[in-house]
Amino acid sequence: MSSLRIEGVSKQFAGTRGMPPTQALAETRLDVADNDFICLLGPSGCGKSTLLRIVAGLETPSTGRVLLDGQQVTGPGPDRGMVFQSYTLFPWLTVEQNILFGSRAKAERAAELIARVGLRGFERHYPKMLSGGMQQRTALARALANDPKILLLDEPFGALDNQTRALMQELLLGIWEADRKTVLFVTHDIDEAIFMANRVAVLSARPGRIKAELRITLPHPRHYTMKTTPEFSNYKAQLTEEIRMEAMKAVEMQHA
């Protein structure tokens, strides 16, 4: 069992060279239940990645705190696995060695995950021999092999082409449907958020705060054909309106 609670977390980055400080994230509150799949959706620069990095312990919040199972997060740890947007496989390790890197990773579980993410036969390949999609699948397997309580994903498929991205979404969803890990997924892609999440939290333009939450009640297992159903379109219409307002505000801020 694991529950995540984000309490009054905000983040201000100090200004450099006489510039005023930047308020990246306004005070934010979010509760993530066990086995929940939550997408943080927002325009670029809204602080959604900052929020995720605070949960990971890679940034310290300016105010508030993050609790995982009642324990305050003070730094990064193996209980919160993370997949980054950039390719972060260790280039000097093979696929298998990468997946076994984590302090809690075990060989049997790694072998099972390699098969699960479709990398059997590539165990001894180095990352640079793999495509972007394969690298992110390895990164996903690496995070899962360490058996985290919660999985944090920071636009993990953002750098992939559309077809690969759709396949990766199905793969991740399949893993979640089988394992029911708690997932916090950051994206700016509305379709991706609806397809993956049980709950979508929409963040406002900078300074980010959660301005709307939408429960997605599409049944599981989800299939890619769902993306063309009327229910999906309804969700999309609602979220598009929310995001559009925020995106426009973000653009206005840049011109101000």
Residues that bind another protein (CB under 8 A): 56-58, 75-78, 80-82, 84, 86, 88, 90-93, 101-105, 126-128, 139, 142-143, 146, 152
The H or E element spanning position 166 is helix 162-179
Question: Least distance (Å) from another protein to the CB of residue 127?
Answer: 8
Residue for token pair 């919040």: 61
Nearest to 50 by CA among 85, 21, 11: 11
Q: Return the number of the residue (70 or 75) whose C-beta is nearest another protein.
A: 75
Question: Least distance (Å) from another protein to the CB of residue 120?
Answer: 21
Question: Least distance (Å) from another protein to the CB of residue 226?
Answer: 31
Q: Return the number of the residue (105 or 197) whose C-beta is nearest another protein.
A: 105
Nearest to 27 by CA among 10, 40, 4, 52: 10
Q: Return the number of the residue (86 or 131) whose C-beta is nearest another protein.
A: 86
Question: Least distance (Å) from another protein to the CB of residue 97?
Answer: 10
Count other C-beta atoms under 10 Å from residue 219's C-beta.
8
Count other C-beta atoms under 10 Å from residue 13's C-beta.
15
- Whole-number Å distance between alpha carbons of 83 and 232: 26
Nearest to 159 by CA among 76, 45, 83, 46: 83
Question: Least distance (Å) from another protein to the CB of residue 122?
Answer: 14
How far apart, in Å, do the first and last CA atoms of the chain sit? 46
Q: Return the number of the residue (29 or 104) whose C-beta is nearest another protein.
A: 104
Strands 150-154, 22-32: pairing kind: unpaired
- Whole-number Å distance between alpha carbons of 28 and 125: 42
- Whole-number Å distance between alpha carbons of 172 and 191: 15
Question: Least distance (Å) from another protein to the CB of residue 92?
Answer: 5
